[in-house]
Structure 1
Amino acid sequence: MNQMTMSKPVQSKSRMKVDPITLQVIRGAFETIAEEMGHVLYRMSFSSIIRESQDLGAGLFDTDFNTLCESESTPMHIGSIPGYLRGIAETLEDGEWYEGDVVVHNHPYFGSSHTPDLAIVAPVFVKGRLVGFAANTAHHVDIGAATPGLIIDVPDVFAEGMLFAGTKLYRKGEPNRAMWNFIRRNSRAAQQLVADIEAQVASARLGAKRFVELIEKYGEDKVFGAAGQLMDYSERLMRQRIGDIPDGEYVAEGWLDDDGRNRDQRLKVKVTVRVEGDGVEVDLTGSADQTPTAYNVPFEGSTKVAAYCAFRKLLLDAATSDVRAPSNEGSFRPVKVTAPLGSIFNPRAPASAEARFTQCNRMIDLILRALAPVMPEQVIAGSSASISFAAYSGVRPSGDYWVFLEVNEGAYGGRPRSDGPDSIDNLMANTRNNPLEDLAMHIPMICDRYELRDDVPPGAGEFRGGIGVVKSQRVLTSAFITHESERHTDAPWGAFGGQDGTVGKCLIYNAARPDEAREMPSKFSGLAVEANDVMAYYSPNGGGYGSPLKRPARKVLEDVLDGFCTVEHARAAYGVVVDLDAETVDIPATEALRTRMGG
C-alpha cells in the first residue's frame, strides 16, 4: 500500500549536561522568547484574524528543525513549523542561508499547514555559523485565492492564491523589492497583508536576536545542552502517560457532511489508535479518498500536527497534570501518524488542501472516542469538533476590497467531573472572538445577534454537553460569503450513558424578511448576497457525559430557568419534574419518575 508515515526527527545534539538550576533558567528564557515573539506579532498586526483572534504560532528551532520552544497561542499551530522548515530545506532560494535572510513559505506540498498560514523564518547565526531559526506562522486575510479570504470549491492547489516555497523576502538584509511588489499586486487586502507580514518579520527578527543573546550569555554548548535535556524531559513525560494506557488497538469512526461541492456524499473519517508500550500510532487508513475540492488536509503541516495536539491535550494538559511539560519537540516523538497517500488526510499533488481544519478537529474528537473505554476519567464526550470559518467580502465605492475573516465558537462535550464549557473554540482551535465594536469600526457589517444557542438543548448527561453559539451577521452592502463548517448531519456523541448533542445549522435571510430563511449546507463558496442579508450560524451543542438520571435536579432546574432546557426535556431526558411557575423542582414526583426510568 502506498502510504506515508512520520519519521522520527533527528534529536538536537546535546553538548553538555546542564545543572538543574541553570536548566530551569534556560527553560524560562526559551518560553519567554516564544511568548514575546507571539506577543509582538499579534500586537503589531492589522487584520483582526491575527490582532484579535491570535491565529498564530511562534518559536525557536535548531538546525535539525526540532522545536525548542513555541508560544502558547492557538493549538492549531502546535508543532507545524518543523514541517515548514523541512519544506524550505528542499526549496530554499540560493540553496543556502545568509545572515540577514528572511524567508516566506506556505506551500502545502512542502510542509505548510495550509496556504493562508504564511511562515516567516529568520536564520540565527553565531560567529558566522548557522545555529538555528526563529520562525512564526499566522493566518492571513487574503493571499489572492479564487474567492476572497477563504476557498472551498476549487480544482487544485494553484487556485489557492500565492504559493511561496523557500522564497526570500530579504537576502543578506536587503529587501527583495520585486517580491514585495508581487505580494502587493496579488491580494484583495494588500495593505493588511503587507503590514501583517511586516509584523511577522519583526517577530522573527526579535526571536533571532533573543536567541543570540541567550547563547552569548550562557554559551552555545550550555544552551543546546539544556534544549536537548528539555526535549528529552518532555518526551519522557509523554511516554510515561502513554505507558499508562493499556496496549491495544482502539477504533472510532465518524462522518463529514460533504466536500463543499458534492452534496449528500458524506466523507468517512476512521481513526485507529495503536498503543504499544510507551509509543502510540494514529492510523487514518479507511478514511475517505481525497476530494476534488479544497477539502483535503496537508499531511506534514496539519494531519501530523492534529495528532500531536490530541495527545498533548489528552495526556499533558496543564490543568490536569501535576507537572508542566515544556512545549517542544520531545512531546511529538512518541506519536506516529499514518495516512494513505491519496486519502483526505494525505492528498496527492496538485489537489487543493486549504479547507483542512474541520477534518483535523474531527480526527481529535475520534481519538478521544476511540480511547474512551480505557480512559474514562480522562476523555470528554463529543464536542462540536468543527470550526465555523466565514469570509465576508465586498468592494468599496473606491474600488478597493474589504475582507473580513471570522471564527465562530462551538462547545465542548461533557466531562468526567463537570459540564462541557459553553460557546468556546474546542479541541484544536483556541482563537479568540472578534469584538463586535471592532467589526463595526472597520467593515460594513453589523451583528444582529450573538448569544448562547437556545433553540435546541445540549446533550443530556450527569454532566451535560456545552451550549453552542448563535451569531447573526448582517452585511450593509452587497457582498460575498464563503463558509466552512461541519457537523450538520453527525451529532456530537454522548459518553457513558450521556445523550448525543445536536447538529449545527446555517441560515441566510434578509433582515426585512426573516421568515424566508433558507438553510445552507455546512460549507459553501462565493455566495452573492445583498445589503441587509444575514448569515445566522448555529454551532453544534456538545454531547453529555454519564447518565442524565444522575444529574442533580437543581442543575436541571437552573438550565430550565436559564432557557437552555424546556420543562418537557427536563422530564423526558433527566426525569426531573419542574414547576415553572414556582421555579422549583417537585422532589417526590422527580424521585418517582426517575425510579420508573431506571435511575
Structure 2
Amino acid sequence: MSRDVITTEIVRNLFQSAAEDMHAALVRSAYQPLLYENQDAAVALLDVNADVLGQSSGLPLFLGNLDEAVKETLRQRGRAANSTDWLAPGDVVCLNDPYIQGTHVNDMTLFAPVHIEGEIVGYVAARGDVTDLGGRDPGGGTETTEVYQEGLRLGPVKIANAAGPVEDVLDIIRRNSRSRELVVGDLNAMIAACRIGHRRMTEIITRFGLSMVETCRDEIFRQSMLADLETVRRVPDGIYVGEGLMDNDGIELDQPVPVRLRVEIRGDRMIVDLTDSPAATRGPINCGRAQTVAAVRVAYKLLFAPERAFDGGCFRNLDVLTRPGTVHHAVEPAACGWYYSSLGMLIDLFVSAFADVLPEQVTAAQFGDSMISYFAGPGRDEGDPPYLCVEAHAGGWGASAGSDGASGVINVINGSFRNTPVEAIEARYPLTLLEYGIRRGSGGAGEHPGGDGIVRRYRIDEPTRLYLWMDRSRTPGWGLRGGESGLPPRVEIAGSVQRDDLLKTNGLQLAAGDTVSILTGGGGGFGAPAPAGAS
C-alpha cells in the first residue's frame, strides 16, 4: 500500500492521543500520591514486534525501555512476538524483575496484547512506582545488599484476564506490602490504563484497516530513522569520553564509584561503550541493562533529533555495549533499589563529551541525582496503614551557550515528574513545610550561570523515621567552557538529632519538633564568568 502523508500524520497523532488517554486513566485512578501527584509512571502503545508506536509524557527512563521490557519478557518465555498460545484476549501480564525491566522492584510493568480477528497485532504497556512491595524497610530501604532484601520480585505473571483481576496474584502482592490496599489500587489503575489503550488501538485499526496502519507505522519509523542517521552523520568521526564519581554505593560510604563513558561516532552510527563500568557494587546502585539502555537513549535524544517523539524508528543506529556483572548490567543477586543514582551523571557525561564539536547544543551538567527523601511511620489513626512520604527534589540545571540554567527543576531522568504540593503533604502526613524556595547562589558562575537548587524545610509533627538517598557531592553539576560547578547537595537536621553531614541514611529516628532542611545542588555555568567588578 502506498504512503499517504496526511493519513500517516493522522495515525501518528492518534497513537500519541491514545497513549495520553492511557496516562490520564492511570494517574486519575491511582491511589498513592507518587502516581496521582508526582506521576511516577509511563505508558506506551507497541506494535506486533513490541516497537513503540506512541507514548505519553512521563518519566524518560520508563519511556525509554517499556518496549525492551516487553521484548525481553517474550524472549524469556520463548514466544514469538505475535504468538497467541500464551496471551489470550483480555490477559494482562505483570512483572517487576530488575533484571528484565532494568529498574527496581517498586516499579511494576504491566502489558497486554491487542488481538484483531484472533491474532496479536500489538501491545499496550504501563509502568508505575507502587512505593512498597515489602523488603526490609519501607519502600525498600537504602542499605540493601541483595535483591532478595528489596521486596517481592515477580517474573512475568498474568495479573488479569478477560474475567477480571486474578485474585490469587493480587493476594500474594497484598501479603507482601505494608500498604496493601493502596498498592492493589495502583495496580488496578494500571490495568485500567491497559484496557483503555487496548480499546483505543482497536479503534484505530478498525477505522483505517490493519494494512494501512502498518504502512503508516513503517513510514513513521522510516522518518525517525532517517532523522537519526542525518543528525549523527553531522558529528565528526571519533572517540568521545567522560568520567565522573558517584559518592558511594550506600554501604561503603568512603568508597566512590566511577562512572565511565566512551562514545564512538562512525559515519551515521553511534557506539556507546560502558564495558569499563565497575563491577557490581555491594550497595543498591546497580542497574539492569534495559534501564542503562534507556538512559543512553535519553542522552541521545537530548542532542540528536530532540524535536521528534520517540518511536520504533529511533535509535536504530545506536549500539549500547555493556558487560554483565557490572553496575550498568546488573545480574542476580545484585541489589538495584537505587538503580538510577548513576544515570543522571551518565547522561551529563554523554552531553559534555560533545562540548567541543557541538558547542551550541550541549549544556553544562545538572544537579544530577534524584535527591530522594522518605518519611515513614505508623498510620495516624487505628487501622490505618503505615505512611510513607516519598519525594524526589528539584535542583538546578546546567547553562548553555544561549541561556542561563533553569532553577528548581526536576532532574533529567525524571522528566515530567512533579513535586508534591505542600497542601497534599500536610493533609496526608504528620509533616509541616516551614520553607520552600530557591537556594540562591547555588548555581555555578559563568557567562551564563547555572540554575539554582531548592530549599525544602520540614517540621516533624510526630515521631518518624527518615530515609535519605542523595549523591553528587563529589561530582556536582560541572561547568563547561570556563563555567564553574554548582554547589553540592546538603541536608541539615536540627532538634533531638543534630547532623549536617548526612546525604544517605536508613531509618534515622526523629522526634516531634525536629526539622529537616534539604538543600539541593545547582547546575554548572557555561562560559567564563565576568571578572570581579565588571558590569
How far has the Cα of 1:384 moved from its partner? 0.5
* Aligned mates of 1:469, 1:164 — CA distance in 2: 37
Q: Is the 8 A contact 2:433 2:459 kept in 1?
A: yes
The amino acid across from 2:98 in the alignment is: P
Q: 2:194 aligned with 1:204, yes or no?
A: yes
Q: Is the 8 A contact 2:134 2:178 kept in 1?
A: yes
Report which of the two structures shows the higher radius of gyration computed on alpha carbons: 1
Q: Is the 8 A contact 2:102 2:287 kept in 1?
A: no
* Aligned mates of 2:227, 2:156 — CA distance in 1: 35
Q: 2:374 aligned with 1:394, yes or no?
A: no
Name 2:300's counterpart in structure 1. Answer: 311
The amino acid across from 2:11 in the alignment is: I
How far has the Cα of 1:446 moved from its partner? 1.4
Name 1:39's counterpart in structure 2. Answer: 24
The amino acid across from 2:448 in the alignment is: F
* Aligned mates of 1:457, 1:105 — CA distance in 2: 40
How far has the Cα of 1:210 moved from its partner? 0.7
* Aligned mates of 2:110, 2:461 — CA distance in 1: 36
Q: 2:430 aligned with 1:444, yes or no?
A: yes
How far has the Cα of 1:316 moved from its partner? 2.6
Deviations 1:82-120 (CA, angstroms, capped at 9, x unpaired)? 222123222499970011111111111123432211111
The amino acid across from 2:445 in the alignment is: A
Name 2:165's counterpart in structure 1. Answer: 175
Name 1:195's counterpart in structure 2. Answer: 185
**Pick from 61, 64, 82: which aligns with 1:76?**
61
Name 2:522's counterpart in structure 1. Answer: 541
Q: 2:400 aligned with 1:415, yes or no?
A: yes
* Aligned mates of 1:461, 1:395 — CA distance in 2: 47
* Aligned mates of 2:480, 2:374 — CA distance in 1: 34
* Aligned mates of 1:522, 1:83 — CA distance in 2: 33
Q: Secondary structure at the match of 1:281?
A: strand
Q: 2:439 aligned with 1:453, yes or no?
A: yes
* Aligned mates of 1:505, 1:333 — CA distance in 2: 41
Q: 2:106 aligned with 1:116, yes or no?
A: yes
How far has the Cα of 1:522 moved from its partner? 2.5
The amino acid across from 2:447 in the alignment is: E
* Aligned mates of 2:27, 2:238 — CA distance in 1: 43
How far has the Cα of 1:503 moved from its partner? 1.0
What does 1:499-510 correspond to in 2, within 5 Å? 499-510=484-495
How far has the Cα of 1:398 moved from its partner? 2.0
* Aligned mates of 1:230, 1:442 — CA distance in 2: 45
Name 1:472's counterpart in structure 2. Answer: 457
Deviations 1:315-372 (CA, angstroms, capped at 9, x unpaired)? 2333xxxxxx232122222221112222111122111112011211110000011111
Q: Is the 8 A contact 1:78 1:309 kept in 2?
A: no
How far has the Cα of 1:479 moved from its partner? 1.6
* Aligned mates of 1:520, 1:181 — CA distance in 2: 42
Name 1:147's counterpart in structure 2. Answer: 137
Name 1:531's counterpart in structure 2. Answer: 512
* Aligned mates of 2:510, 2:289 — CA distance in 1: 35
Q: Is the 8 A contact 1:410 1:426 kept in 2?
A: yes
Q: Is the 8 A contact 2:295 2:347 kept in 1?
A: yes
* Aligned mates of 1:358, 1:376 — CA distance in 2: 27
* Aligned mates of 1:457, 1:294 — CA distance in 2: 29
The amino acid across from 1:533 in the alignment is: D
What does 1:160-559 correspond to in 2, within 5 Å? 160-300=150-290, 302-318=291-307, 325-396=308-379, 397-398=381-382, 400-430=385-415, 431-454=417-440, 456-510=441-495, 517-549=498-530
Q: Secondary structure at the match of 1:472?
A: strand
How far has the Cα of 1:508 moved from its partner? 2.1
How far has the Cα of 1:216 moved from its partner? 0.6
Name 1:564's counterpart in structure 2. Answer: none
* Aligned mates of 2:96, 2:432 — CA distance in 1: 33
The amino acid across from 1:575 in the alignment is: A
The amino acid across from 2:460 in the alignment is: V
Q: CA RMSD in A?
A: 1.8
* Aligned mates of 2:249, 2:189 — CA distance in 1: 34
Alpha carbons of structure 1 residues 74 and 110: separation in structure 2 relative to 1, 3 Å: closer
Q: Could you state the TM-score of these two structures normalised by the residue count of structure 1?
A: 0.85
Q: Is the 8 A contact 1:261 1:293 kept in 2?
A: yes
Alpha carbons of structure 1 residues 56 and 527: separation in structure 2 relative to 1, 3 Å: same
Q: Secondary structure at the match of 1:518?
A: coil
Deviations 1:23-63 (CA, angstroms, capped at 9, x unpaired)? 01101101100111111111111211111111111111122
How far has the Cα of 1:517 moved from its partner? 3.2
Q: 2:45 aligned with 1:60, yes or no?
A: yes
Alpha carbons of structure 1 residues 521 and 340: separation in structure 2 relative to 1, 3 Å: farther
The amino acid across from 2:303 in the alignment is: L
Q: Secondary structure at the match of 2:472?
A: coil
* Aligned mates of 2:27, 2:271 — CA distance in 1: 35
Q: Is the 8 A contact 2:469 2:504 kept in 1?
A: yes
Deviations 1:114-162 (CA, angstroms, capped at 9, x unpaired)? 2211111121010111111111111112111221124321121111211
How far has the Cα of 1:291 moved from its partner? 0.7
* Aligned mates of 2:85, 2:99 — CA distance in 1: 18
Name 1:321's counterpart in structure 2. Answer: none
Q: 2:136 aligned with 1:136, yes or no?
A: no
Q: Is the 8 A contact 2:91 2:158 kept in 1?
A: yes
* Aligned mates of 1:410, 1:495 — CA distance in 2: 18
Name 1:560's counterpart in structure 2. Answer: none
Which runs of 5 or more residues in structure 1 are unaligned? Answer: 1-15, 319-324, 550-573, 577-589, 592-599
* Aligned mates of 1:317, 1:493 — CA distance in 2: 23
* Aligned mates of 1:150, 1:531 — CA distance in 2: 24
Q: 2:19 aligned with 1:19, yes or no?
A: no
How far has the Cα of 1:523 moved from its partner? 2.3
Deviations 1:545-596 (CA, angstroms, capped at 9, x unpaired)? 01211xxxxxxxxxxxxxxxxxxxxxxxx423xxxxxxxxxxxxx37xxxxx
Q: Is the 8 A contact 2:242 2:349 kept in 1?
A: yes
The amino acid across from 2:169 in the alignment is: M
* Aligned mates of 2:263, 2:301 — CA distance in 1: 15
- Structure 1 window deviating more from structure 2 (340-349 vs 131-140): it is 340-349
The amino acid across from 1:530 in the alignment is: A
The amino acid across from 2:352 in the alignment is: R
Report % sequence identity.
Answer: 29
Alpha carbons of structure 1 residues 457 and 481: separation in structure 2 relative to 1, 3 Å: closer
The amino acid across from 1:379 in the alignment is: V
Q: Secondary structure at the match of 1:373?
A: coil
Q: Is the 8 A contact 2:142 2:469 kept in 1?
A: yes
The amino acid across from 1:363 in the alignment is: L
* Aligned mates of 1:421, 1:447 — CA distance in 2: 23
